[in-house]
Structure 1
Amino acid sequence: MNVLIAGGTGFIGRHLVQSMVQKQNHVYVLTRSHQNPNHSPYLHYITWFTHDEQIFEALPPIDAVINLAGEPINKGRWTRKKKTKIRDSRKQSTQKLLQFMQSSAIKPKVFINASAIGIYGNSNDQEFTERSAPQKNSFPARVCTMWEQEAIQAEQIGIRTVMARIGIVLGKDGGALPRMIMPYKLFAGGRVASGKQWLSWIHIYDLTQLFDYIIHQEAIEGPINMTAPNPVQMDTMGKKIGENLRRPHWFPVPSWILKIIFGEMNEILTEGQKVIPDKALKHGFEFHYSECGQALRQIFREDTNKG
């Protein structure tokens, strides 16, 4: 199978590319920066946003397109310039992929466009499934709504389209977890804000397997929540991190300090959503890591066997 991945050099992208290559798929990674040559016959790096027409013309027929490209939303303060870059990078990459798919003589069978659970807005008492209506009460929600509106246009050219609403991804070499564990390593870990805000997470292994599952399950289309079936409140996650690192969970961090440090971006830490992967479960996907304690044990290598 030939898989085209935009944004394949970030944390999620690296793991997804590795998983796809291990299954002997030919993976074509679109990246804005030059990558070092690799020795796998299944992996190909392609610099895009320059001479895109020639690049796309040289590709073989593509079976699946996955779009992860976009300015990281959780790095740096949300200045006006940063917000514009976050929105525009997602819109532009999606439009370029739509143009490619439209012009392809042999259309891809599926287009999976990244989104995020932030589309549901923030709530401490609601439970969200794919049937829940998107909100516009936060910057992430507005960005995700715009992104999905761009991506859904692929349906008009006859391509099965999936919006991957990704939760907080847990892995040792990227994402949110390294920053979450740093205070604990300094013996300063503890409750963040109220601690009652929901954290809808997913282990990086399950995330990559779910992408592959979606590609092969033709009945899956539209939005899909890519989170583990058992979200936890932030205080519970913190306690589990402390247990695994053998560090205390005692030093509370009030919301006002986070607001000073992160500005508007503090809402990622202080507010959350309780999101259930209803569609993945109904279509038979089996999560390898369904409990956060189990996931953290694997990540911290206290349990070397998966599960």
Structure 2
Amino acid sequence: MKVAIAGGSGFIGKHLTRYFLNKGHDVFILTRSEKTSSEKRLHYVKWLSDSATPLASLEGIDAVINLAGKSINSLWTEKTKMDIFSSRISSTKAIYSIIDGLQKKPSVFINASAVGFYGTSIDQTFTEDSIEAGKDFLAKTVDAWEKEAAKIGELHVRTVIIRIGIVFGHEGALPSLALPYKLFAGGKLGTGQQWVSWIHVKDLIALIDHTIHTSEISGPINATAPSPVKMNQLGKTIGKIIHRPHWLPAPSFALKTLLGEMSIMVLEGQKVIPMKALQHHFHFVYPTLDEALSDILKKQMKSS
């Protein structure tokens, strides 16, 4: 199989690349700069520049995965918000142009999205049947991104929108969440009652592969574990696994002062259930928080 990945150098992209290479597939990373690889099955394809000619390299591709977009993990100035939004729309438009120009279309296009689509809530439960987008900046950004990605379906390519929760692995959000505990300063963030819909990075990668090979899956699919938790439980579980106290709270007003509008990412959340993944018989290796964090944090403790 030949797989093209936009955003292949990020946290998820690197895991996905390694996964497909280990399976013996050819991986084509879309990149803005000239790169070469010593790995026989890893190819770099220049795009998003006047001199780029990606079509020649991508003819015959089987699956296209779009993970491209500016990181949301930086203070949200008006310029940053504009970059977060425009980077997602422009990269998706570019992928549309590439797929439109291919003589043989890929069998599937998978566009990253986020559970932020649903907005935030303490008491609601969201599945793929929840069709109304939220009203905050992240929800509006994700909604626009998904609508742009859905246009690729008009090219008669099966299109999947994978709404990703907080991804736990050795990179990403977990090291930042665990650091205060390692310093004996961990505790409740805000009220602690906000929902965290999460997924182990290995399950996320396996779900993307499952989606590629399950032709019945199209449209949105939630990439979250089947057991979302509240923030207070997440903190207590981190403390328990690394043998640190859960005692020093970070009040909401302090986090809002420190992070500004970006504080929504830790102070508010949504309870999301992966209904479509379960209906299509996807097996989660790490369905519970204890299993997921034990796998990651205990390995980190052994290596440190």
TM-score normalised according to structure 2 size: 0.96
Aligned with 1:191: secondary structure? coil
2: CA distance between counterparts of 1:34 and 1:189? 43
Q: Are residues 1:6 and 2:6 paired?
A: yes
Equivalent position of 1:287 in the other structure: 284
1: CA distance between counterparts of 2:32 and 2:205? 22
1:297·1:303 contact (CA, 8 Å) conserved in 2? no
Of 264, 273, 297, the residue aligned with 1:276 is 273
Which has the higher mean CA deviation after the structures are superposed, 260-269 or 129-138?
Answer: 129-138
Q: Are residues 1:301 and 2:289 paired?
A: no
Equivalent position of 2:80 in the other structure: 82
Which has the higher mean CA deviation after the structures are superposed, 43-52 or 272-281?
Answer: 43-52
The alpha-carbon deviation at position 79 of structure 1 amounts to: 0.7
> Equivalences for 1:19-98 in 2 at 5 Å?
19-35=19-35, 37-51=36-50, 54-74=53-73, 76-98=74-96
Q: Are residues 1:255 and 2:252 paired?
A: yes
User: How many residues align structurally?
Assistant: 301
Aligned with 1:27: secondary structure? strand
Q: Identity across aligned pairs (percent)?
A: 49
Aligned with 1:301: secondary structure? helix
Deviations 1:125-177 (Å, cap 9, x if unpaired)? 000000002323211100000000000001111000000000000001x2110
1: CA distance between counterparts of 2:16 and 2:214? 17
- Gap regions ≥5 residues in structure 1: none
2:92·2:149 contact (CA, 8 Å) conserved in 1? yes
Q: Are residues 1:265 and 2:251 paired?
A: no
The alpha-carbon deviation at position 52 of structure 1 amounts to: 6.2
1:20·1:27 contact (CA, 8 Å) conserved in 2? yes
The aligned amino acid for 1:139 is: F
Deviations 1:201-247 (Å, cap 9, x if unpaired)? 00000000000000000000000000000000000010010011111
Equivalent position of 1:243 in the other structure: 240
2: CA distance between counterparts of 1:93 and 1:276? 28
2:241·2:298 contact (CA, 8 Å) conserved in 1? no
Aligned with 1:5: secondary structure? strand
For the structure 1 residues 52 and 5, does the alpha-carbon distance in structure 2 shift closer, same or farther, using more than 3 Å as the test?
Answer: farther
- Gap regions ≥5 residues in structure 2: none
Which has the higher mean CA deviation after the structures are superposed, 199-208 or 48-57?
Answer: 48-57
2:45·2:57 contact (CA, 8 Å) conserved in 1? no
Aligned with 1:130: secondary structure? coil
The alpha-carbon deviation at position 34 of structure 1 amounts to: 4.8
**CA RMSD of the aligned region, Å?**
1.5
